[in-house]
Amino acid sequence: MTTGPLHRLSLAGLEPLWRAARTGLGWWGRELALLVPPALARRLHRPLAIVWLQPEGVRWGRLQHGHCRPAPASDGASALLVLPAEEVLEARVELPAALTPDDAQRLLALELDRYTPFPAAAALYSLDPAGTDGGSQRPYALTVLPRPRALDLARQAAAAGVRLDGFVVAGPDGRARQRLPAPATVGIGLRAQLRRHGWWGGVVLLLLANLGLLLGRDMAGLAALETEVASQRDLAARAAGLRRSVEEEEARRATLLRDKQAAAPLPLLEAVASALPDGAWVLRLEWDPAGPRLHLVGEADPAIDVLALIEASPRLEQAQTATAAPAATAGKRPFDITLRPESSP
Q: What is the dihedral angle through the alpha carbons of 247, 249, 251, 255, rounded to the nearest 10 degrees?
A: 180
Domains of the chain: 46-202 (3.30.1490.300), 265-341 (3.30.1360.100)
Q: Residue 188 above 70 pLDDT?
A: no
Determine the Cα–Cα distance for residues 185 and 330; give it in Å rounded to an integer: 136
What is the Cα Rg of the chain in Å? 53
Is pLDDT at 149 greater than 50 in this prediction? Answer: yes
Summarised one tens digit per residue, pLDDT across range 35-90 is 777 666 656 556 678 888 888 888 888 887 777 888 887 665 678 888 888 888 88
Distance separating alpha carbons of residues 126 and 145, to the nearest angstrom: 9
Q: Given this model, what pLDDT does residue 249 score?
A: 92
Top pLDDT among 54 and 12 is at 54
- What's the mean pLDDT in 232-245? 87
In this prediction, residues 229-243 reach a mean pLDDT of 86
Q: How many Å apart are CA 331 and CA 325, to the nearest integer? A: 15
Confidence of residue 190 (pLDDT cuts 50, 70, 90): very low
* Closest residue by Cα to residue 319 from 333, 339, 300: 339
Task: Tell whether the model's pLDDT for residue 343 goes beyond 70.
Answer: no
Instruction: Give the model's pLDDT for residue 8.
Output: 47
| Position 248 confidence tier, pLDDT thresholds 50, 70, 90 | very high
Q: Which of 300, 308, 288 is nearest to 335 (CA)?
A: 300
For residues 263, 266, 267, 270, the Cα torsion angle rounded to the nearest 10 degrees is 140
For position 110, what pLDDT does the model report? 84
CB-CB neighbours of 166 under 10 Å: 19
Spatial separation of the C-alpha atoms in residues 91 and 205, rounded to whole Å: 44
> Is 108 a residue whose pLDDT tops 70?
yes
Burial class (CB in 10 A: 0-12, 13-18, 19+), 89: middle
**Would you tell me how many other CB atoms lie within 10 Å of the CB of residue 319?**
20
